[in-house]
Amino acid sequence: MNIFDIPQEMLRNPLPEALRQPAPPLQNPHAAEFVISDQLRACYEPNQRAMWSRWNPAPRPCFNAGLLADIRSYHDFLASTNGHLELNGEQHAIDYVILASAKPGVFNLGGDLDLFKKLIGEQNRAELLRYGRACIDVLYSNYSAFGLPCTTISLVQGDALGGGFEAALSGDMIVAEKSARFGFPEILFNLFPGMGAYSFLDRRIGQRGAEELITSGRIYTAQEMFDKGVVDQVIEDGCGETELAALIERRKRSQNGLAALAQTRRRVHRIEYSELLEVVEIWVDSALRLNPRDLKLMNRLVTRQNGLGESHQVH
């Protein structure tokens, strides 16, 4: 049995039952909530013409195989809408797709390091590559805006590390609360972030800036990321939803032009899927060369990953 022991019909069907029939809204009476799984929910806000998604991975706030499959189903659903949802017999445009976290203090801590350690110990190249491809599949669909004329926004409220940082970078815009932190710890155990970090950063801040961030092993503040040109806007803690709603309102008259500008940026600074896949293959081969000392350092980060997730739980 491999790490993606998921019913194939779920992967083939871009419209699982939870997405066909929206659940009753929980907070905003005008919104429609979609429950994809225990790890992922989405909500359409008609006033903003925005689809929000929030992930809630367990047991650790990282990209486990189930969460990746859930995100893939959600993205397939978005692509199938052609940019419009039908709710209560009315057509509603999707102008924005917003990525956020349901875990207080944590956006996402990245790859499943415990799984990496196991597969590296087994020298299981096929499963490492399978995992890497699943990651770039969901990041590339977000990067390409699902083939829709919409703007994708990453709302970072908390720690975005490793693959979590890569996920944030896949959006057209990154809006971060002041206490958000960013970083790539992979270099600390003799590896590098291989699911899009270099490609996304190179397009944003160039080769030199990308390599500086990836090789430093540092944790950066939201303000530092703004100063480097990685983050687009820094806002006060606890104001993410309010500030994003205000941003969307300010852009309302120009949204068509701004969405077209985002499409143009993706074309001029194009990232091909094949580029991401080739980098994943480099990452897999590099991971398989890690020595016992490197794996011990990775294990320490697994412990920290567990601790960070637990420290941000709501009691």
| Six token digits for residue 72 | 């893939």
The pLDDT of residue 25 is 39
| Residue 290 near residue 191 (C-beta atoms within 8 A) | yes
CA–CA gap between residue 255 and residue 252 (Å, rounded): 5
Query: In the chain, which ranges are E strands?
Result: 32-37, 40-45, 50-55, 84-87, 90-93, 96-101, 106-108, 151-156, 159-161, 173-177, 181-183, 219-221, 233-235
Class of domain 8-309: alpha beta
Where do we find the tokens 């919104």? 31
Exposed (0-12), middle (13-18) or buried (19+): which is 311, by Cβ within 10 Å? exposed
Domain ranges in the chain are 8-309
| Six token digits for residue 197 | 């970090």
Tens-level pLDDT at each residue, the chain (315 residues)? 333 332 333 233 333 444 433 433 334 656 789 999 999 999 999 999 999 999 999 888 999 999 999 999 999 999 999 999 988 888 999 999 999 999 999 999 999 988 999 999 999 999 999 999 999 999 999 999 999 999 999 999 999 999 999 999 999 999 999 999 999 999 999 999 999 999 999 999 999 999 999 999 999 999 999 999 999 999 999 999 999 999 999 999 999 999 999 999 999 999 999 999 999 999 999 999 999 999 998 888 877 667 665 555 433
pTM of the model: 0.88
The pLDDT of residue 220 is 97
CA–CA gap between residue 143 and residue 204 (Å, rounded): 13
